[in-house]
Structure 1
């Protein structure tokens, strides 16, 4: 009797099960066949089975948090960096390029995690952190050196973040899974708060030290060891499609930060090439039907509108504090600490709020807090330095609580088999829109048009609330 052997492998973090002894007579439809015996051997991997994922997840989270510290520190002081390196009109690229690289990295790593072992991705990320940090500190007097170094660092620490999310979301126990996913958002908020504080302090000492902070993540490597899974699912990687899509995202950011006819033309050609490729390729990483899913398009549009202000807020507060009240970056950072603490609390309780209020109400409540904060900022900008703290407490509480319902919104609009790509697109939309936003308003920041920026943020929040209400109404009508 012949035996067919099947190897079933889930995501890189999933268990491997060998199912054996299915008689060939059964396949041919024979009636006299004994009942098959099935032996299942599950090989536990950190993040999937309940055998202690802490020893791999927390080190990955530490690497990501330290990268966030550096990223947000630069977002606070990037105008000073631009002045020191003589960036001129290209100052927005210092934060816009790493921002879009972050978005593209989220997408690439989320997609490649199905085909390339997570351990290989994480090891490559650690190498990029080392190269980017050393190169950036050595070339800190060069605009190109700073931009390239920060892009490499971003690619490096996002590898750890993506591996963390793949492993955390594969935990079978819902409570433990929710805990580790919540810790991811908490790490972002905590890293942001610390980044603002450290950036403000180093602005008056030597901002180039910010480029060395991600190196501290190397201390997490011995703890993590070789526990990151080294298996992956077999399959073909659509390298061409991923490369074209990444080029589209990069060109979009460059064109938004520094409009030139050749950038716009290149973006149009890249977009056309991408659409042609996913329509003709044998096995594209994403299909046209994904983009023609109208509910998904509406949900992503909400992210694009609301998150376009995310990277703008910290330098806006720094500019207001410096220009209107004579505050140093370190003093502005201290005033922002309560806002990030509230954001951390909001992030950790967003799941409970979602369960109690529902997705639509939670989204509109969070965006309503952002709207209230922008109103306070626009109307009371010259009322005193207290406005920095009050406005940011409202705004960042809204952003902190928005994380979970935003993911829920996206998941509700796609088929279950498309969740991985939905997460990747969601991350790209969040990071890419924020990078485009900071690139667009950089000239206004440099010229001191703070009230105009606050009004734009107010308008974005108002459109976000109206857009989400319309999205929910149309989605219910369609179902």
Structure 2
């Protein structure tokens, strides 16, 4: 994707954007609420539709879509009309919502398609919100609205899991309609969002399409374990590498992958988000199979954990300012390790113990994001920061998608002691082993970060000088 050579002119502050900011945040919260809800109950949906083996794809494939549209919307926001971009996105959101509720016909693939369309549209609200805040607000007011956005994300995660838990016992298709409430906000938003465009922008459609197919095939491979899918993924990744070397305006260039500091730092995100989509589903399956809990009960059990994540996310800036990136990141990973270890040890100790363990895990997750994002951005030249953030979003969503494709299948196995991992009570063994796997992944993440931390966050480094300016306008 390429931008114009002339930077966008500075626009004077527009006080009337605040009504649209509030409503855009509401739409973003509703969309993320829906995403998190499906993350909790995907296994139940797959079972009801007679396709438990494919259930994880309800979360996995929309996760890939989310990573790609985050990249596209974030890049387009500086150059195209925000009003028109919002209109297209909200149309997709409503289309996906209605398709999922009325036309799924008991077919899991229709549910997956509807979720992908809904997810692609829903993200536009968050992207437009961030661009408006960055463009029109100043100083403390800008920081305040960024903080509100972060808190809204974490809060919607908590509400989404809570809502899904109770709606699943009624009719899970109602989850599709939650973002559709956004239709009532459209007139106000369209009347307050500016319609300015700052020049033509080229969207690298072939590049995004190739990488999307490659990632989708890779994710589906881990569900079906069909080696032709893996071969297809490899072919498309090779095609993508050849394409970005020959295309005039690819959304990312070979030079990005020559930046070893960027590759090392993005690796920590990929490792530590590998289990991110799987935690709620694991707890839901554990609650149902071991304790006879409903999804509503499980959502209440996890509520405290998501509140802790919200508090830690909002506080992460001040904590990082006092401790520095290295100490903050290490502390966040240690929280995850301790939480998963406690969950594995207390899998049969009762829901309260699991809830406490998950609160520790999510304290680490809430604290982790901000300092790592800043670390990733710090490994590239300033003119490449947009692409770095976009690739960061893509990496964490792809990691979670592949993880849920792998671990989601394990949740459906009544007893997989034959995997030969660790011993555990027969009725809780699968979940003990999953928590141990998550703990081991977090340990690997910690070891990786300890190995790279002095390489990716040195005291002083002129990134542009070391890696080249690469100021060619591509995003």
Q: CA deviation at 1:100?
A: 1.4
Contact 2:36 2:160 in 1 (8 A): yes
Distance 1:7 1:269, change over 3 A: closer
Q: Tell me the TM-score normalized by structure 1.
A: 0.87
Cα deviation 1:219-246 (Å, max 9, x = unaligned): 2223323333331333433222222222
Q: Tell me the TM-score normalized by structure 2.
A: 0.88
Q: 2:267 aligns with which of 301, 305, 308?
A: 301
Q: 2:411 aligns with which of 432, 445, 449?
A: 445
**Counterpart in the other structure of 2:243:** 277
Secondary structure of residue in 1 paired with 2:191:
coil
Quote the Cα distance in structure 2 between the aligned partners of 1:372 and 1:233. 51
1:462 aligns with 2:443: yes
Quote the Cα distance in structure 1 between the aligned partners of 2:356 and 2:206. 48
Matches within 5 A, 1:14-29: 15=10
Quote the Cα distance in structure 1 between the aligned partners of 2:258 and 2:165. 44
Q: CA deviation at 1:111?
A: 2.8
1:153 aligns with 2:115: no
Contact 1:321 1:327 in 2 (8 A): yes
Quote the Cα distance in structure 2 between the aligned partners of 1:177 and 1:462. 37
1:220 aligns with 2:185: yes
Q: 2:293 aligns with which of 308, 324, 327?
A: 327
Give the superposed CA RMSD.
2.0
**Counterpart in the other structure of 1:409:** 375
Gaps of 5+ in 1: 1-5, 16-42
Quote the Cα distance in structure 2 between the aligned partners of 1:55 and 1:172. 13
Contact 2:53 2:412 in 1 (8 A): no
Distance 1:226 1:249, change over 3 A: farther
**Counterpart in the other structure of 2:424:** none
**Counterpart in the other structure of 1:430:** 396
Quote the Cα distance in structure 1 between the aligned partners of 2:393 and 2:455. 24
Cα deviation 1:219-278 (Å, max 9, x = unaligned): 222332333333133343322222222222322322233332222122112111111121
Q: CA deviation at 1:426?
A: 0.9
Q: CA deviation at 1:446?
A: 0.8
1:360 aligns with 2:338: no
Q: 2:233 aligns with which of 243, 263, 267?
A: 267
**Counterpart in the other structure of 1:124:** 88
**Counterpart in the other structure of 1:202:** 167
Secondary structure of residue in 1 paired with 2:216:
helix
Distance 1:364 1:66, change over 3 A: same
Quote the Cα distance in structure 1 between the aligned partners of 2:119 and 2:203. 23
Q: Which aligned runs of 4 or more in structure 1 are off by greater than 6 angstroms?
A: none
Contact 2:43 2:52 in 1 (8 A): no
Distance 1:7 1:382, change over 3 A: closer
Q: CA deviation at 1:180?
A: 2.3
**Counterpart in the other structure of 2:316:** 350
Matches within 5 A, 1:77-88: 77-88=41-52
Quote the Cα distance in structure 2 between the aligned partners of 1:301 and 1:277. 23
Quote the Cα distance in structure 2 between the aligned partners of 1:105 and 1:7. 23
Gaps of 5+ in 2: 415-429, 462-475
**Counterpart in the other structure of 1:182:** 147
The count of corresponding residues between Structure 1 and Structure 2 is 440
Q: CA deviation at 1:360?
A: 1.1
Q: Which has the higher contact order (CA 8 A, sep 6+)?
A: 2
Quote the Cα distance in structure 1 between the aligned partners of 2:149 and 2:161. 18
Quote the Cα distance in structure 2 between the aligned partners of 1:236 and 1:68. 28
Cα deviation 1:99-151 (Å, max 9, x = unaligned): 11111211222233344322222111111111111111112322122111111
Contact 1:63 1:218 in 2 (8 A): no
Quote the Cα distance in structure 2 between the aligned partners of 1:182 and 1:309. 26
Quote the Cα distance in structure 2 between the aligned partners of 1:328 and 1:8. 56
1:105 aligns with 2:64: no
Q: 2:253 aligns with which of 277, 287, 309?
A: 287
